[in-house]
Each structure stands twice: as C-alpha cells, then as structure tokens.
Structure 1
Amino acid sequence: MITADINALAASSAAAFTDYREEMERSTLSETDHKILITRYISQGDYETATFWIDILYAKKSEASFSLFDFAQYIKDLTVVQQYKRISELILSRHLVKKHLVFAYYYINALYHLRMFSVIVQLPIGNLMPSDGLPVRYPDVHCGLEDYLDSLSTDITVIDVMQLNKMVVSLKLFSALMVVYGRTYILLENRDFATRCLTAAFLQDRHCLVAEQLLKKYRLVPTTGSDPCYRLVFKFILDLSIDVIVDFFKDCVLLHANCLHYFQDWKRLFLLAHELVLSFPDHHYSWYVVAVYYFTCNNIAAAKNFINKAALMRRAFGEAWIAYGHILATECENEQALNCYYRAARILPWHYEPKMYIGMQYCRVGVRMAEDFLREASCLKSCDPIVMHERGSYYYRYSKFRTAEQFFHNALLAVVGKEVGLEYANPFLIMSKQIDRFWQPLLSSLGHVSRRLGKYKESIAFHKSVFFYRTATVLHENVLRNIVNLWVMLL
C-alpha cells in the first residue's frame, strides 16, 4: 500500500514538473516564434495544433493590452483554420458586426460556411458599404434595442480605425464580401442581386477570378467583348489556380457523362460515377453522374432518387433540374417534368435548352403554348439546328407543312455547314455528305414533310439517306415502309 502511494505521488510530481516545464517554454517564446509555429502547422494541414498556437498568441497579446486590430488579426487566423462557429460567436458577442467592414466580412463569411444564408441577407450593414445601390440591408432608424446593443460594444480608437482600413484595402475585403453576398444570392435564386454584388466585386478587384467565373458560369453577364467583366480565357490560362482547374474539371465531367450516356457506354459511366463518389462524396456533380448511369441502364427509380439528391444538394444546379425533367418525361410524368424544366429556366434564364424542353413537352401533350417557348428558345439560339427541328416538328403537327419544311431545311443546312436561309437543302447531294446518325430523325422528318407536299422523289431520297445507316432501328422499319409506299405511288 505504501509503495503504491509513493509511486502515485512520484507520477503526479513528474506530471506537474512536465506541465511546469512546458509552460515555461511557451512563456519564453516570442511573437515571431508563435507565428512560425502557426505557419508550420497550417502548412502541414494540422489545423487543430495551429488553432492552439493561435489562441496562445492572442492570449499573450491580450495580457499586455486589448486592441481591436489584434482581435481582427486573431479572427483572420481563425478563418484560415476554418473555425467558423467560433468566429461568428466571438464577433457577435462583442457586437462588432456593424462597427467596421473587417468584422462584417469575417462574420458573414463564417455564416456562409455555416449555411445560414437567410441570416446573411437580413444583416443591417448597409452603412458600411462604400457605395450605394448594393442589395445590402441598412440599419433601422431609431431602433432602441439595436442602439442599446451597439452601445455595449467597445469603441474603436482612431489608431484601430486606421489599421483596420489598411487591412480592408490590402486584403480587398469589400470585394471578398461582395463575392460572399453574390454566392448567397445565387443559392437563394435571386439572380438580379447576385449580378449586382458580383459585378461590384469584380470592378473593385479586377484580379478576383471567382467573381468573374460566377458571372460567366451562371450567365449573369453576357460574355461579349464590350462587357466590363469579359476577359479572354487565353490571357490567364497559365495563371489558373488549382481551385479553378478543379472547377473546370468538374464542369467537363458533366459533358463527359452526357456523352457517355449518348453512346450508352454504361461501363465507363459506372467507373466514372464510382470514382467521383469516392473522391467527392459531398459534391452534387458526383450524384448527378450516378443518376445518369442509372438512367442509361434504364433503372428509372434509382435515377430519380439520385438526381433528386443532386438537385437538393445545390438547388441552383440547373443542369440537374433539366436531367430530372428528362427522367420524369420518360415515364410520361408530364406535369412533374414541366415543373423541373420551369425550375431550370428560372436558374438558367440565358440558356435556350430549358425553354426548348418546355416547348417540346407542351408539343408532346398538344398544348399550343409550345410555339411561344420554342420561339423564345430560337431567340436565344437562332442558329441551333435542334431548335429549328423542334419548331418544324411543331408546325408539322398542326399541318403547316410549308413552314415546317422551311425549318427542317434550315436545320439541315446548319448541320452540313451551309448558311441558313439561302437555299433549300438538295436531298440528292445529302447522300454524298457524312452526317452523324444523331440527325436521323431530322432526315426522316424531311422525308415525311416532302411526302406531305407531294415531293415524292425528294422524300425517297431523304428516307434512303436514313436507311443507309447501319444500325437497325424501329425508325428504319418505318422508313422502309414509306419508301415502298412512295414507289408504288410513283408507278
């Protein structure tokens, strides 16, 4: 018993001595030594240890004197180690949100990462904005409660104001704040406010690639040479950061997955979906590819589940809503498909595809509103042969064969690379041109409309051009039947 007590006492004494020695070593470290330790562990990705030394450094500074500039530097370091919950609580508890732009930015940035979007747009910090006309709420006048809470915060000295203002200029915090607001409004589907915020961010910091990419990606500003936010891609290709390369890679993933679906290559789709889910399980693109894989395999139930997951993970993911509409349309769920296309049209107002699909869906169920949406799609992309083909199909449905023929011919001229509207496509020259089998329905439509107009030889030529494709389909059986009937009529 005595031996056990002696051993316990020795162990506790050794632990106390170790703690005392470590405390002495920490107290002898200078501010530069602390910063070196913080940089080292951040570079290693050890954010937990880096946070510990950030707290130690700020505690030592606070022992001497409290400075709002030192507190701002402390908040900036905590942002690097992603301590967003602590940042929001520290700034809010000191009532500093409306005191200066530095604290407003770090607080709003923390809320964004905590996905508190509705709180962000309600913050009354408009008085901190350097210019008017921004979609930021202003403080209420003579609000007793808010005035009382603001009075509890520490007054900012002249020296602190000067240092904080230098911090705003050197770190371009106004531009960064507008980017956060722009991202928030994109997620809340307020495109007008997002455009104003991101444009302000780009004009204040022309090197802000994030603002430019968001403006282009969501078509918030037309990508023309006269636009102030427009910049040739080739000018900064060599200077792209890793984050931008990842964004471009993910955008290419959608195109790659859609191409694999078109070619019905379900094996590669499976490998791509598997790799993306392992590497990016929290990214909406991964589950989009999974949905495309199941859609390719004709597993509609699983495809609906996963495309719904992708769309809900990011509600401003317009491509997912379009794909959702396609999947629902295959099961003739027309109303639900239309809802998805309408949602995509709100998210992607400068894209012609959602409006075209709305028109196609209305045409499918026999609603004359289809013409309006197809015309809108044509206004956005007048030279697209798919839009021309769909408009021709609409007029063919309502027996306007001359108009349908004109649209079909313009679509074919666009496919073969000739200028639209100058001449009719010569069906006898089409045989000598290599046309992708994707356009088989267009050639078949030309055959049908020519037959309706009594142009039997042209109709036979178009049907033959379809029939010469090797892949046997139901379309080919119909084409062969039409050719036989037309020859009988000519004899």
Structure 2
Amino acid sequence: MEQHRLESSLQLLQGKIYEAMDNRTLAAECYKKALRLDVFCYEAFEALVKHQMLSREAEEELLNSLSQGSASEGQLVKVLYATKVKKYDKPEPLDVPPELHSLRENLDVATAIAERCYYNCDYKRCYEITSSVLNKDPFHTDCLPVHISCLMELGKSNALFYLAHRLVDLYPESAISWFAVGCYYFLNGKADAARRFLSKATVLDQVFGPAWLVYGHSFAVENEHDQAMAAYFKALQLMKGCHLPFLYIGLEYGLTNSTKLAERFFNQALAIAPHDPFVLHELGVVAFQSQDYAAAKNLFENALNILGVEDLTILPEKWEPLLNNLGHTCRKLRKFTEALEYHQHALVLSPQNPSTLAAIGFIYSLTCDWAKAVEYFHKALGLQRYV
C-alpha cells in the first residue's frame, strides 16, 4: 500500500510537470495512473475534473476503474467523486447514506451541484447556491468561477463590480481576480478594457479555461473572428470535457458562412451536452439555413421544451431569437397562425425589435391582411428605416 502511494505521488508530480509543459494529454494519463494507484489522491482527481481534461465517458470509465479500500471508505470516495463528474446531468438531491449525512452541508458538494445547475441553464438556482456558499466562505476558489459566470448570465453588474473589487484588493496575483474584473467590463459593453484584464488573467494562469472563453467573446462582439477563434481553440485545448468551446467555435464558423464546419462543432457540443438549449438552437439555425425546415422546427421546439416555461412571455430576453426563429420556420412551413404566435411572444420579450415587427407584417401580407401588414411595416420602419 505504501509503495502504491509513493508511485501515485510520483505520477501526480509527473502530471504536474507535463501540465506545466502544456502537454495536457500526457498530464491526464499521469493523473489517471496516480488515481488508480491511490484512490485517495484527490489532487490528481481535482486536476482532471477542474480543468475538464476528460470527456464524460472517460470520467465514468475512470470512476468505475478505481479500486477502493474498505466498504465505508469506498462509499465515501464514490459519493464525493460522483458529485464532481456528470456536470451535464440534471441537478438532483444528493443521495448519501445516513452515516455520510453531514456531506449535505459540505461547500465543495454544494459547489458541484451549483455547477450542474449552471450547465443545465438554471442560473437562478445556481446563483442561490453559490451565494450561500460564498456567504459561508467568501473566497471559495472552486465556487468563484461559477458564481462570476452566473452573475454575468443574470446581468448583475453591481454585484460583479463589488466582488471583483474585493478580489483584486485581497488577491492581486490571482487569475480569478482579474477574470472577475474582465467579466465586469465585458458585461458593461467595454470589450477593449475587458480584454486587457482577461489577458492578465490568462498570463497569471495559462490553463484557466473560463478566462480564455470570455477573452474570445471580447473579440467576437467586435466581429474579430480570427482572434475570437484562436481564443476559443485555446479554451478547447484546455477544456476537452466542456461543450462551450465547441459551441462558440461553431458560432464563429456559422458567422463566416462555413455551415458544414459549424454543424460539425455543434454536434460535438451536443454529444457532450445533449440537453443544452443553446446548442439545440444553433443546430436548428443550421437546419434552417439548409432549408430543412421540419428538422429546424423540431430542434427549436426541443430547445424551448428544455427551458421548461409554460408562459413564453416570462422567458429572459436572450431567448427572443429562438422564438423569432420558430416563427420564421413555421412561416416557411406555411403554419401562419403558429408563426404569428411565436413572433408576438418574441415581441413581448423585445418590444422595440424592428425585425420582429417586419416579420409579423410579412406574415399578414402572406395571409392577404393588407391593413395589418402595412401597420406593422410602418411600425418597423419607424424604428429602423432599413429593415
């Protein structure tokens, strides 16, 4: 047993050396060997899951291959490690045996559940969990990236400013501090300033994947496709088990009219996160562009169903394109009544969108309701002269 632990420590050290040399494939192999030699080598396990080095299948295979000691030890290891993997599964109450009941209050376990909520687009619940964790431990290093990402999704710029300010004051040499600052500026539409701070975060921690993703966003919003792609590919290299780099690379290919490449990356994202509405939406866009309107409608509706909202008018504004795309697809399928409903719902989410008004006017013209068609075209032209 001692011999195995010694060999495990050596494999862990070798993995860290490979990771420092930017050879993540060999680093991952060393970390896996370290875990197989000593199931309690948590540092190796954390390196694999924190930096998302493994695919979902590889994570499950690794968990199943781990040899455990006594029954009680094995149960503890199984519960703790299982919370850290399967990030894309639906968040469920933690199933722990009575003797491990205290784990329910564990902050690491709570953070893992919050991460599942985030990847399942339940940002409100994710925010509640991460806020609770940070109230107990204000600088929980695993929780902070999830919390910061959640603040961005919910548009809470004031809370993000306050958190970033505190982090920079206390940890000026930490990548997470400058990541928070960069996210704040990006959220407020200052891409150039965001880039400066995100670049600093990537210098302080070159394997910090989230910083590379937002760094890519800062170029993407300014239509700097090549630089955005370079950042996303770097994130992909660092986060092989995460679907987000695949999604954003696909988006950039789509914007440059490389539809086939876009579809390939979206499908890879879907293989990792089969219930992500953003991925389904983008695949629907690809199907629409390929004039496969029935498939597009199916994909858009699947995305909408995953959001699980009965009243479409209470959706966040970010889903307005999904409702409009459903409207366009229904129009192509000559389902005009259904198309109008979707466009009207989209109009509630974004009332001053001239494209939506023009789309409604177009449907009325197709149904020969000329008076309403003219009314909506006038409204659209009043907001934007060239729609």
TM over 0.5: yes
In 2 relative to 1, CA 385–264 (structure 1 residues): closer, same or farther, beyond 3 Å? Answer: closer
2:35/2:45 contact within 8 Å kept: yes
**Pick aligned residue for 1:195 from 28, 37, 41:** 28
Following the alignment from structure 2 to structure 1, what is the Cα–Cα distance between the partners of residues 313 and 78?
38
Structure 2 residue 347 is matched with structure 1 residue 467: yes
Tell me the residue number matched to 1:333. Answer: 224
In structure 1, the residue corresponding to 2:141 is in which secondary structure?
helix
Offset, 1:216: 2.0
TM-score (norm 1): 0.57
How far is the alpha carbon of 1:237 from its aligned partner? 3.7
Query: Is 1:304 aligned to 2:142, yes or no?
Result: no
Cross-structure match for 2:64: 226
Task: Name the aligned partner's letter for residue 270 of structure 1.
Answer: F
Q: What is the root-mean-square deviation of aligned Cα atoms in Å?
A: 3.0
Task: Give the SS at the match of 1:226.
Answer: helix
The offset of 1:280, in angstroms, is: 1.5
1:208 aligns with 2:99: no
User: Structure 1 stretch 247-256 or stretch 263-272: which is displaced more?
Assistant: 247-256
Give distance in 1, aligned partners of 2:362 and 2:145: 44
Match of 1:282 among 144, 149, 173: 173
Change (3 A) 1:434 1:265: closer
Where in structure 2 are the equivalents of 1:47-126 lying within 5 Å? none
How many residues are paired up?
308
Task: Kindly indicate whether the alpha-carbon contact (under 8 Å) linking 1:356 and 1:387 is maintained by their aligned counterparts in 2.
Answer: yes
C-alpha deviation, 1:211, in angstroms: 1.7
Structure 2 portions without partners, runs of 5+: 68-76, 81-95, 112-132, 370-387
Under a length normalisation based on structure 2, what TM-score does the superposition of the two structures give? 0.71
- Indicate if the aligned counterparts of 2:283 and 2:296 stay in contact, CA closer than 8 A: yes
**369, 372, 375: which one pairs with 2:267?**
375
1: CA distance between counterparts of 2:330 and 2:21? 49
- Of 369-378 and 268-277, more deviation after overlay is shown by 369-378
Query: Which residue in the other structure is 1:344 paired with?
Result: 235
Partner SS state of residue 454, structure 1: coil
Q: Which amino acid aligns with 2:239?
A: L
Indicate the SS of the match to 1:249: coil
State the secondary structure of the residue aligned to 2:140. Answer: helix
1:184 equivalenced with 2:76 (yes/no): no
**Matches of 1:267 and 1:248 in 2, distance apart?**
18
In the alignment, the residues of structure 2 paired with residue 172 and residue 455 of structure 1 have an alpha-carbon distance, to the nearest angstrom, of: 66
Residue type at the aligned position of 1:392: G
Q: Deviations over 1:301-322 (max 9, x none)?
A: 2111111111122211111111
Relative to 1, partners in 2 of residues 1:210 and 1:239: Cα closer, same or farther, differing over 3 Å? Answer: farther
Displacement of 1:473: 4.3
Q: Is this contact kept in 1: 2:4–2:38, CA < 8 A?
A: no
RCO higher in structure (CA 8 A, sep ≥6): 2
Matched, 1:271 2:104: no
The structure-2 alpha-carbon separation of the partners of 1:468 and 1:301, relative to structure 1 and needing over 3 Å to count, comes to closer
Q: 1:385 and 2:277 equivalent?
A: yes
SS class of match (2:64): coil
1:344-363 aligned at under 5 Å gives the runs 344-363=235-254
Q: Distance in 2 between matches of 1:464 and 1:391?
A: 23
Q: 225-234 or 481-490: which moved more?
A: 225-234
Deviation of the 1:276 alpha carbon: 0.7
Alignment check: 8 A CA contact 1:187 1:314 kept: no
Identity over the aligned pairs, expressed in percent?
A: 29
More off after superposition, 331-340 vs 379-388: 379-388
Is 1:478 matched with 2:379? Answer: no
Query: Residues of 1 paired with 2:38 and 2:220: CA distance?
Result: 45
Match of 2:287 among 390, 395, 415: 395
Go from structure 1 to structure 2 and tell me whether the alpha carbon gap of 1:304 and 1:261 turns closer, same or farther (over 3 Å shift). same
Question: Do the aligned residues in 1 keep the contact of 2:277 with 2:306 (CA within 8 Å)?
Answer: yes
Q: CA deviation at 1:455?
A: 1.1
Deviation string 1:251-307 (CA, Å, 9 cap, x unpaired) is 322222222223333222111111111222111111111101111222222111111
Alpha carbons of 1:270 and 1:400: their partners in 2 closer, same or farther (altered >3 Å)?
same
Distance 1:432 1:172, change over 3 A: closer
Match of 1:412 in 2: 304
Query: Does the aligned pair in 2 maintain the 1:359–1:371 contact within 8 Å?
Result: yes
**SS, match of residue 262 in structure 1:** helix
Counterpart residue number, 1:445 = 325
Q: 1:365 to 1:254 in 2, by over 3 A?
A: same
Given the alignment, which residue of 456, 459, 465 partners 2:336?
A: 456
Q: What is the CA-CA distance between 1:411 and the residue it aligns to?
A: 1.5
Q: What does residue 148 of structure 2 align with?
A: 257
Matched, 1:217 2:50: yes
1:420-439 equivalences in 2 (<5 Å): 431=311, 435-439=315-319
| Partner Cα distance (1:185, 1:217) in 2 | 16
The whole-number CA distance in structure 2 between the counterparts of 1:404 and 1:283 is 44
Conserved 8 A contact 2:209-2:239:
yes
The CA distance in 1 between the partners of 2:185 and 2:246, in whole Å, is 25
The change in CA–CA distance for 1:432 and 1:438 in structure 2 (over 3 A counts) is closer
> Residue 318 of structure 1: which of 209, 218, 222 is its match?
209
Bigger shift: 177-186 or 266-275?
A: 177-186
Q: Deviations over 1:210-244 (max 9, x none)?
A: 122222223345443634287322658489799x9
Kindly report which structure 2 residues correspond to 1:33-52, keeping only aligned pairs within 5 A, or say none.
none
Structure 1 gap ranges (5+): 1-167, 418-429
